[in-house]
A and B are shown apart, each in its own frame.
Chain A
Amino acid sequence: MFVVHYRNIFLGIGALLLAAAIGAILFFGLRFSIDFTGGTLLEISYTQERPTQDVISSKVENLAVGSYSVRAAGEEGYIIRTRDLNQDELDALTALLSIEENAVSVDRVTTIGPSLGGELGRKALFALAALSVVIVLYVAYVFRRVSKPVPSIYYGFIVVLALLHDIIIPTGFFAIMGYYFGAEIDALFVVALLAILGYSVNDTIVVFDRIRENIAANIERNVKESFEITVGKSLQQTYMRSINTSVTTALALLALFFLGAGVTENFALTLLVGVVAGTYSSIFLAAPLLVSLQKKIYKKG
C-alpha cells in the first residue's frame, strides 16, 4: 500500500508536525490555569448592561492584590483571575464590583491553594507516565504470540511513540491557542489528553491486530510474503474503519464544540485535535514505523 511504500514521507510529515508542536511549546510557552498554579477565579455577571472591561480592571486594581487578569465571559459577564484570595478579600472584591442599580451576581468562584495546584501538576505527569507504561505492557502482552519478524515489545514501544505524538500535537496546538486567545491548560485539558491516549491506542491496536491476523494466516497457508506487504495489506483493510470512527467521533466533538457549554469548549477542541492526530499516528506512523523497524532488525541480523 502507498502508505507503507512512501512511509518516509509520512514519517517525515509526522516528525515535522511534532517539531512544530515542540517549537510552539518552547516558543510560546504554556499558560496554566489556577488548577495548577493556585489562585482565585471569579465569574460574575450583571443584571443590566455590563460595565466596560476597563471599569472592572480599575476596580480590581483598587484592591491591590497583585497581578490579575480580566476577560469577558459570554454576553453579560467577566472572568477575573487573581492570586488565591481569602474570604475577606473575596468579599471585599465582590463588594467593589457591584454597581448601584446594576447588581453583580457571582456565578462561580473557585479558589485553589498553591499546594493543591502543585499536587495536581505532579498527578497529571504521573497519570500520563503511568498510562504510557501500562499501555506498553498491555500491548506487548496482547501481541505476545507475535514474535516474528518483530518482537512484541516493539509493538508496545511504537505505540508509545505514537502516543507521545498524540499528546505533544494537542499541547503544541494549545501553546498557540494560549498565545493568541489566552486559552489555559487546566485539569480538563489533562483529562482530554488521557482520553486521547485511550482512543488512539484503541485505534492503533486495531491496525496491529490485523497485522497479527494476516501474519498468522500467512503462516497457516504457508504463504511467503514480505513484512512490508503484510503491513500494507493490513492497513488497506483497516484504514477505512479508522477514518470512519474518527469521523463519527469528530462529529460528536464538533457538536460539543459549537453547541455545548463554554466550560467544555476547549476540552472539545483538545479532543478534536487529539483524535485527528491519533488517527494520523495509527495509520501513517505506527504501522510504517513497524516496517522500518523490521528492516533495521533484518539488516542487523
Chain B
Amino acid sequence: MITRILAAVVLALGISLSAFVFISEKNGGPFPLSFGLDLAGGTHLIYKADTSELSEFERKESLISLREVIERRTNLFGVAEPLVQVEESSFVAETREDRLIVELPGVTNLSEAVRIIGETPLLDFRIENPDAAFDAVEEDRYMSVGLTGRFINSAELTFASGGGGISNDPIVLVNFNNEGADLFEEITRDNVGKQLAIFLDGAVISAPVVREAIAGGTAQISGGFTPEEARDLVRDLNFGALPVPIELISTQSIGPSLGKAILQDGAIAGAFGLMLIMIFMIIWYRLPGVIASVALLFYIALMLLVMKLVPVTLTAAGIAGLILSFGMAVDANVLIFERMKEELKAGKGVRDAVREGFARAWLPIRDGNISSLIAAIILFWFGTSIIEGFALVFALGVLLSMFSAITVTRLVLLAIAPKEAGKVSRALFGSGIKL
C-alpha cells in the first residue's frame, strides 16, 4: 500500500514538474532556459593578453584590472549581460598565454563589437636608452620602465595658457595611483636630465626631458594634439587605459536567425527521437516498457528543471547531447528489465523478479555510469564554452537518468506488480518478440 501511495506521489510530482517547466517557459515566466551565443546570437571574442614582461604578481594584478576595464567598456556601450573572463591557455599549448574572453549576447555586428572592445589606448612611459645608436628607430631609443596604463587612476584635460593669454595647447593630466606615484617619483629622480617618452599605442606622443624628481603622482602629457584628440584620450584613459596590450586571436559572431532554426529543429528531432524510443520500449518490454517511457518523460522534465534552476546554458551541442541522452537514459531500464526477465524465467514471482532485477542490475549500472562521468569530466576540460554545454548536459543526463530510471521505475513497477504471477501478468511483464 505504501509503495502505491509513494508511486502516486512520484507520478504527481512528475506531472507538476512538467507543468512547471512548461509554464515557466511562457513569456516572462520565472527561470527561463538560458541559451548560449550560438542559439541566441551574439559575438564571442578571444584576445591574447601580452603579460610576458610582467612578474607573476604584476601579471595577476594587471589581468584583474584588464578584466575590469573591458567590463566597463562593454557596459558603457549598453550590451545586455556581457561576459568577460580571463583564462590561461591550457598546459598543452606551445607557450603559456593569458587570454581574455568576451561574450556579447545580442551583438551580431562583429566590426562594431571589435570596435567597442578594441579601441582602447595603451599608455606606456619609457626612458631614454643611453646605449642606443644615434640613428636608432624610435622603438629602440627608449627602454620600458614598467610604468603603464595600469597605474593610472584618472586623467583630466587642461589647457596651457600660451603667450598673449590665449589658451591653446591642450594638456592631459594623468593621476597615478599610490603605487604608480611612487614609481613615477623614483623614475624621475633616477633619470634627471634624460628624456622620458610617453608612448600611446606604441608611438611616441611626447618626450619631455625630466628636470627634477616629481612627487605627488601627476604627469603632464602635452604632445601637440588637437583639443578633440586630447578629449578622446582623456575619455579613453578614464574609461579604460589597458594595463597590458591585447591582440585579437579569435572571433565568432552568430546571427539570431540561425539559432532559432537550430532550436526549432532540435525540438522536432527531440520529440521524434523520444517517440521512437518510447514505441520501441513498449513493443519490446510491454508493461515495463510503458513504465520506462513514463520514467523517461520524468527524466526529461527533471533535466529541464535542473537546467532552468542552475542555470545550464543550452547550446547547439547541448541540444544534441540532450537528445542523445534520451537514448542512453533508458539504458538502466533495459539492464533492469533484461535481468527481470531472467528472474521470471527462473520461476520467481513478478514482484520478487522486480526486486531481484533491480538489486542485480545496480552494480553494472553504477560502474558503467561512472565511466561515462569520467568521459564527461575530460570533455569539460577539452571544451571551449560551446562544448562545455555538451559536457554538462552529458554529465547531468547520466546522473539524473540513473535516478529516474531506478527510483521512478522501481516504485511504479512494485506498485502495480502482483504478488503471484498469473498467465496475464507474466505476459505483461515478459518481454521480447518471439523470434
- Interface set of A (CB-CB < 8 Å, partner B): 43, 87, 90-91, 105-113, 115-116, 118-120, 122-124, 126-127, 130-131, 134-135, 138-139, 142, 187-188, 190-191, 194-195, 197-199, 201-203, 205-206, 209-210, 213, 237-238, 240-241, 244-245, 247-256, 258-264, 267-268, 271
Contacts and interface: CB of A to CB of B under 8 A. Distances in A.
Interface in B242-286: 248-255, 257-258, 261-262, 265-266, 268-270, 272-273, 276-277, 280-281, 284
Interface string B19-43: 0000000000000000000100000
Contacts of A268: 320
Nearest to A260: B269
Which of A43, A248, A249 has the most chain B CB atoms closer than 10 A to its own CB?
A: A248
Contacts of A244: 284, 334, 338
Nearest to B276: A251
A190 B381 CA distance: 12
Contact of B382 (A134, A190, A247, A256): A190
Interface string B322-353: 01111110110011001000100000000000
Chain B interface, DSSP helix/strand/loop, else mixed: helix
A119 B382 contact: no
B41 to A, nearest CB: 9
Given A201-B371, A240-B338, A119 B324 contact: no
Given A87-B111, A106-B108, A249-B324, 15 more contacts: A107-B258, A116-B250, A119-B89, A138-B370, A190-B382, A191-B379, A198-B371, A198-B375, A203-B368, A206-B364, A238-B338, A245-B335, A248-B331, A251-B327, A256-B323
B369 interface: yes
B327 A250 contact: yes
B383 interface: yes
B384 A256 contact: no
Nearest to A271: B324
B272 A259 contact: yes
B323 A261 contact: no
A191 B369 contact: no
Contact of B394 (A109, A139, A195): A195
Sorted from nearest, which 4 A-B pairs have the closest CB atoms?
A198-B375, A255-B273, A252-B327, A249-B327
A245 B255 contact: no
B430 to A, nearest CB: 13
B316 A261 contact: yes
A256 B93 contact: no
B269 A124 contact: no
Interface size class of B (residues with CB under 8 A): 35 or more
A269 B258 CA distance: 21
A188 B387 contact: yes
Given A122-B93, A134-B378, A205-B371, A248 B266 contact: no
A46 to B, nearest CB: 13
A236 B328 CA distance: 21
A133 B202 CA distance: 48
A198 B394 CA distance: 10
A110 B37 CA distance: 13
Given A87-B111, A109-B251, A248-B331, A122 B92 contact: yes
A264 B319 contact: yes
Contacts, number: 230
Contacts of A105: 255, 257
A194 B364 contact: no
Given A142-B367, A248-B280, A260-B269, A191 B327 contact: no
A245 B363 contact: no
Contact of A261 (B261, B281, B371): B261
Contacts of B248: 87
Given A135-B371, A198-B375, A252 B382 contact: no
A220 B130 CA distance: 88
Contact of B384 (A107, A131, A187): A187
B266 A198 contact: no
B200 interface: no
Nearest to B324: A252
Nearest to B110: A109
B252 A111 contact: yes
Nearest to A190: B382
Contact of B327 (A130, A240, A253): A253
Most chain A CB within 10 A, of B97, B261, B324, is at: B324
B46 interface: yes
B390 interface: yes
10 contacts: A108-B253, A111-B250, A119-B93, A205-B367, A206-B364, A241-B334, A248-B328, A249-B328, A259-B268, A261-B265
Contacts of A209: 363-364, 367-368
Contacts of B338: 237-238, 240-241, 244
Interface string B349-365: 00000000000100110
B94 interface: yes
Contacts of A205: 364, 367-368, 371
A142 B371 CA distance: 10
A263 B111 contact: no
A199 B262 CA distance: 25
Contact of B94 (A106, A115, A245, A250): A115
Nearest to A198: B375
Nearest to B251: A111
A85 B406 CA distance: 52
